[in-house]
Structure 1
Amino acid sequence: MGGLHFLWQSLEIIAKEASKNASNLRMLSTFIIAAAVSLSTVLARAVVPIADSFPNAGSQFSIGLDPADDSNPPPPEPEPISLIELPLPPVALNDEPGSCTLELNPHGTGCINQTTNLQSGSFTLDSNHVTAVVEFVGAPAAPNPASIYTGLQLILIKADGTLFFNGDPWRCITCGMPAKNMVGQSQNLGYPQAFGDGKRVLAGDNIIDCGEFEISEECTPDRVHVYPIHWNVVANGSGPSGTMRELRIHPDGVHLAWSSFTATGQLCYLGRLEFNESPTTGLPLSSRYDLSNINLLFDIDRASTISVNGTEIQVNYDAITIGEVRGFSGTGREITYIGYPAESCNIDVFAIDLYTGTVRRLTSHPEYADPVDISPDDQWTVVMDTRGSGRQMFLAGMRNVPPIIDMITTAVTASTRNNGQRRFFQPWLIDRYGDRGTYFGQQVNGAGNGRPDSVNDPNWNGMADPKWSLDGTKIVYWQALVQPPACGESNPFPCPDSTAAGGRTSRIMLASLTSRESVSKQVIIEAPDVVPWATPFTPGNSDPEYPMLFAGNYSLYGRTCGYANVTIVPTSSGKGVATVAVTYYNFSSDGLSILNGYERVSAQQPSLAMNHVDWYSDLVQTVNGTRHATKKTSSDGFHLSINVMKNIFNANGTLTTTIDGIIYQQPQNGT
């Protein structure tokens, strides 16, 4: 585990350096993706309930082979969805000063480049505008009025087809601000999220505030202020803020959740925002938002992933495993997060009630899920997921396998979801009751023809985060066109040409759910200042330590029948797990699927970012005695080395899952 601790520290340094420079947003985005992969260090310490422990998890044996579940309503029928690309500033030919000419932009309101740093955000209060971050380039030198359109900036985009007063469908909110209005601002403007008051936007670890005016045409540069967020992490209150990432504003507009790397992994927090006009301690000593009433989203009594009672391993089905915060439910009662796999090799998104600690599994498809947003009325989820791509099926296609080997395989399992900058995410719409039976949601952009630059062109990668409009009738998300080295050069797949405006390789998409009526304004449940199941955060205190699992030989009993023999072998230092071996004997946790066979995995970390596994598997599963699945490695085993920062698949040997004759094979090396 020591090497992984150094990895956390190294990644944090990368994030700090990236956030210092506005031009490094893409580097920061790459860091965030890779860091999420490294969450497995934390997640592997905890287990969440599998199968019937979640009312919406289902007990599906494989896609389309789940018996009826009368406890949930029937799945919804597919609905009509209309998609358009939202307008963005024109593209400059290069980044040189003055390259954004009046011929390109007659209004003199700025240009972006082909590979612009771009991130869409959320809808504003009226559901007709979308926040976004872009990087302006090619502005003329001062005193030209257009000189203000430079660098990373927050913009507002019309989502209803109308124009701003100057004829543009977008408006820069932060361009031309006086220096006195942005003292202490950090250059991280990621995940721009509008507050419910319509007057503020959370962008990175800053709050962009227009005072008494809404973020709109009245929000002129002299009225805009940017206030940094300060998290005190030392006992005497001195020094800069603690390092925060993946910040998410609660619907109440008062509380904030965030994740942060520590020497022992990544931890997640919830705190209350309080405006401090004249701070006397901590940096910067400028007007800022301070965080108070901070809860560490960790419960030591529910943090044990697997407990040992004599020679028996017992999975703690009520464990809380918040590896990374992803947001909140629409009404604010739940917080969403990436959790430890509920089924082996299957990484999903979960929600936990801030008041009761009740965990709800939001996704259960065998593919990889991550960015997620819950609708304002809590009845729907939109998630970026690799489902439909087949990318992860060779690992996770066999269902209801206990997540035992995942103690050491989650890093490589998660890393295979990407191929460098090629992400296999697409947006999926799922009702509150989740994946069940033959229902695995509706692909939001599934109605296209799949041709280049169509709405479902697989070369356009879904990015974070999809967001609901407050009226519940629209979804906004953004995509990036695959670029080298994820195509071309040594990669076997050629690079596509962009036909987007100016050859742009990023785009923001608006999905309108045309058959829906606007939902009524929801009653927001304010987050508690004291989360009952969390741990109070005290500045300067040591981070909590996760319980360690001792090496040895154990038995794991199926909740319905059968058992498994489990062997855990420590690393040479004795501080981590090097090998996990499991042999199943008529094992069943759902009363339907019967599992036999073995898996043995050994893991190494040759360098800070590199992970290697030696994997041997021969599993056989039946459901109701008729359906059949296998998960097998070649005779020489499956040996995968993958860098969590690059996600380039490179394996010797094979790992193949076959379900009722359908064969799911691993990706080609280099992809």
Structure 2
Amino acid sequence: MHFTSPVLTAGLALGAARVAASDIPPPPLPEPIDVIEIPLPPVAPSTEQGACTPLLNPRGTGCIRKDRDKFQAGDFTPDGNHVVVNVDFVGAPASPDPASIYAGEQLILVKVDGTTFANGDSWKCLTCAVPPENALGLDPRTDYPHAFRSGTKALWGHNIIDCGSVPLDKCDPENTHIYPIHWPTTADGSGPGGLARELRLHPDDVHMGFNAFTDVGGQNTFLARLEFNPDPATGEPQVPRYDLVDVNLLLQLNGKPPIEVVGDELQVHRDAITVGELRGFSGSGDEIIYIGMPWESTNIDLMAVHVTTGAIRRLTSHPEYVDPAAVSHDDEWVIAMDTRGSDRQMWMSGMRWIPPMIDILAVSAAASTRNNGPRRFFQPILIDKYGDRGDYFGQQVNAAGDGSDGSVNDPNWNGLADPAFSPDSTRIVYYQGLVVAPSCGGDNPLPCPESTAQGGREYRLMVANLTSRQPKAPAPVYPVPDAIPWATPFPPGASAPQQFVFQPGEFTLAGRVSGSASVNFTEDASIPGAIGSVSVAYSDFCDEEGYVINGAEEFSRELDLSNPWNQVVHWFSDLTQTGSVEATKKTGPGGFHLQIDVMTNIFNASGTLTTTIDDVVYKQPANGT
């Protein structure tokens, strides 16, 4: 479907074009999409030894757990007929039963073309029964599986599965090796290395992007090269491994900040490189896809930065929240997991083109309200390469259903990370989790649904077939330099510099079209040098033609110094917008107050914040929902 609403239809076309704005074509029409659920190994009734009986799986090739813990789908192998998936096998019989190898977290290969392997299964375990001597130093982190484009290797969390010259679907335990990935971060190379997270493989099969938390409630992003180290002399583990070398911190030290003080004025630089969380790469690998500083207040979008030129593009602009995403191998399409259509974030981000002044404090809280604990509100959205523009906000991949329990568009089944395109761009794979307690049931007003998946499984693997498309060849892979020109070298022993320090004071921000805003950054009384509150007063402020803002808002934040992820925020807003839309963004008499932990995402607020767009009212979620 095309998503339309009064707040959106007059939106400016700021899509993800690699061409001049005048050359951006009209949005594509919706295309036919056939979504199917892909079979997985049978579900065991419990995790007890032997619970996976021959009755459940006559072939003795394993059973998986009911809850979605440890399950994660990856992407396609080069032939487009298999997907790599992390599962947790449970209920295996004791050794020496041959089925005893199907135990614990394993990486499997799943057929998505309706065929089976020689034994009749639609799946094959890649890591079961790999000899211990072939898996020395196995890292327990096994998330974000990814198939190398070579077809002979797979990324399995912080490990690389290597089948030598044999394709993954032909690999057997004896010729499989599993090597851990090590990030040397000390000057002498000692120790276990850095705690990289959410590793994403570049299309060249050589470079790797990843994130790393800081100890003050933030994170940095990096790009490095994978180098095989057969006999490491330092670092842990000292086994054959892949090292992350030529590490680049994705920060432009001398570049433009997102908000700059020039005298007593503020300037917002939309072309500033602010890679807050790396999400992956373009299909050719010439761009890094990330979430960064918003262009519009509390509107979290996907951005792209070119790996050599540092040129910035905005990929999405819908006011809802976007996070996991992938670009097709031909660079023509984006598949994004987005809350658009759910109205989950419209109460705070629905008013367009408010400049991101309060966002120097509000970004974490704004991003955290996208979830209800473990529940996501994502659905897969297909967007062309030119991005959101006008009244075009992509096509929901799984819209063609009746919304009933277990249907492809059942709203109680929500998308998770990461979706992926087949190499020929004719298929999309994604997986979903069913809403479960405490996100439903008990004190929560949403009743917990019954799973319609096999064995009551609380997750499912889905493939969307883009039935009207002809296969297309992948774009040529972009040659990535080991030293990114605009980034900061980060050799072992380096420390990440502080980013984008804002000074307290009173400033004026001129609208890009007209009007102005008075902005006051106030120092945090408990954290010297940090900003604790932001207040903004708008006078006929207009950043985009047709969106004129008047009124004021104030945002302040309290940090728990023992847990920087836990925040209490206070928000007072009384904004009006005229022109293309008639809108208001208002808090109740006592303001809006939210306590939220970024790592748990449980909504707990007092007071109200309501956005109204052309008489359509968007209210905040109820606590606990």
TM norm structure 1: 0.89
Preserved CA contact (<8 Å) 1:185 1:206: yes
Aligned mate of 1:323, from 257, 268, 276: 276
Shift in Å, 1:161: 0.3
Aligned mate of 1:266, from 219, 222, 226: 219
- Aligned pairs (5 A) from 1:163-174: 163-174=116-127
Q: Which sections of structure 2, spanning at least 5 residues, go unmatched?
A: 14-20
1:493 aligns with 2:449: no
**After superposition, what is the alpha-carbon deviation per residue over 1:209-252, rounded to whole angstroms, capped at 9, x for unaligned?**
11111101x31111111001111111111222211101011101
CA distance in 1, matches of 2:444, 2:12: 41
CA distance in 1, matches of 2:579, 2:24: 21
Aligned mate of 1:577, from 524, 531, 540: 531
Preserved CA contact (<8 Å) 2:503 2:529: no
Match of 1:616 in 2: 572
1:299 aligns with 2:244: no
1:658 aligns with 2:603: no
| SS of structure 2 residue aligned to 1:413 | helix
CA distance in 2, matches of 1:640, 1:303: 32
CA distance in 2, matches of 1:384, 1:66: 21
1:639 aligns with 2:584: no
1:105 aligns with 2:105: no
Shift in Å, 1:92: 0.9
Once the two structures are overlaid, the 10-residue window that deviates more, 603-612 or 344-353, is 603-612
Aligned mate of 2:230, from 277, 281, 288: 277
Preserved CA contact (<8 Å) 2:226 2:245: yes
Match of 2:470 in 1: 517
Shift in Å, 1:312: 0.9
Match of 1:21 in 2: none
Match of 1:65 in 2: 10
Aligned mate of 2:401, from 443, 448, 454: 448
1:436 aligns with 2:369: no
CA distance in 2, matches of 1:504, 1:494: 17
Match of 2:554 in 1: 600
CA distance in 2, matches of 1:256, 1:648: 32
Preserved CA contact (<8 Å) 1:61 1:623: no
Shift in Å, 1:67: 6.7
CA distance in 2, matches of 1:114, 1:291: 36
Shift in Å, 1:166: 0.3
Shift in Å, 1:71: 5.0
Once the two structures are overlaid, the 10-residue window that deviates more, 312-321 or 642-651, is 642-651
Which letter maps to 2:183? W
Once the two structures are overlaid, the 10-residue window that deviates more, 386-395 or 523-532, is 523-532
Which letter maps to 1:668? A
CA distance in 2, matches of 1:355, 1:63: 34
1:96 aligns with 2:48: yes
Preserved CA contact (<8 Å) 2:320 2:343: yes
| SS of structure 2 residue aligned to 1:657 | strand
Shift in Å, 1:61: 8.2
Shift in Å, 1:646: 2.6
Shift in Å, 1:70: 5.4
Which letter maps to 1:649? F
Match of 1:50 in 2: none
Shift in Å, 1:130: 0.4
**After superposition, what is the alpha-carbon deviation per residue over 1:120-158, rounded to whole angstroms, capped at 9, x for unaligned?**
001001000000000000100111000000000000000
TM norm structure 2: 0.95
Shift in Å, 1:318: 2.2
Which letter maps to 2:559? Q
Once the two structures are overlaid, the 10-residue window that deviates more, 144-153 or 236-245, is 236-245
| SS of structure 2 residue aligned to 1:559 | coil
Q: What's the Cα RMSD here?
A: 1.4
Match of 2:93 in 1: 140
Shift in Å, 1:317: 2.8
- Aligned pairs (5 A) from 1:15-54: none
Aligned sequence identity (%) = 54
How many residues in Structure 1 have an aligned counterpart in Structure 2? 609
Which letter maps to 1:615? W
Match of 1:161 in 2: 114
CA distance in 2, matches of 1:237, 1:650: 44
CA distance in 2, matches of 1:416, 1:291: 34
Match of 2:17 in 1: none
Aligned mate of 1:507, from 460, 477, 493: 460
Shift in Å, 1:385: 0.3
CA distance in 2, matches of 1:326, 1:410: 17
1:532 aligns with 2:485: yes
Once the two structures are overlaid, the 10-residue window that deviates more, 526-535 or 141-150, is 526-535
CA distance in 1, matches of 2:102, 2:470: 38
**After superposition, what is the alpha-carbon deviation per residue over 1:604-654, rounded to whole angstroms, capped at 9, x for unaligned?**
124624322221111111125xx3111111122112222223322222221
CA distance in 1, matches of 2:568, 2:193: 36
Match of 2:241 in 1: 288
| SS of structure 2 residue aligned to 1:418 | coil
Which letter maps to 1:261? F
- Aligned pairs (5 A) from 1:402-441: 402-441=355-394
Preserved CA contact (<8 Å) 1:94 1:113: yes
Which letter maps to 2:7? S
Match of 1:483 in 2: 436
Preserved CA contact (<8 Å) 1:302 1:318: no
CA distance in 2, matches of 1:113, 1:549: 48
Which letter maps to 2:586? K
Match of 1:189 in 2: 142
Preserved CA contact (<8 Å) 1:303 1:321: no
Which letter maps to 1:257? G
Match of 1:234 in 2: 186
Aligned mate of 2:35, from 83, 90, 98: 83
Preserved CA contact (<8 Å) 1:61 1:593: no
Once the two structures are overlaid, the 10-residue window that deviates more, 271-280 or 157-166, is 271-280
**After superposition, what is the alpha-carbon deviation per residue over 1:509-552, rounded to whole angstroms, capped at 9, x for unaligned?**
00000000000243111211111101111211222122421111
- Aligned pairs (5 A) from 1:235-254: 235-254=187-206
Match of 1:119 in 2: 72
Shift in Å, 1:64: 1.6
Match of 2:505 in 1: 552
CA distance in 2, matches of 1:262, 1:412: 17
| SS of structure 2 residue aligned to 1:654 | strand
More helix by share: 1
Which letter maps to 1:62? V
Which letter maps to 2:292? G
Preserved CA contact (<8 Å) 1:595 1:619: yes
Preserved CA contact (<8 Å) 2:246 2:491: no
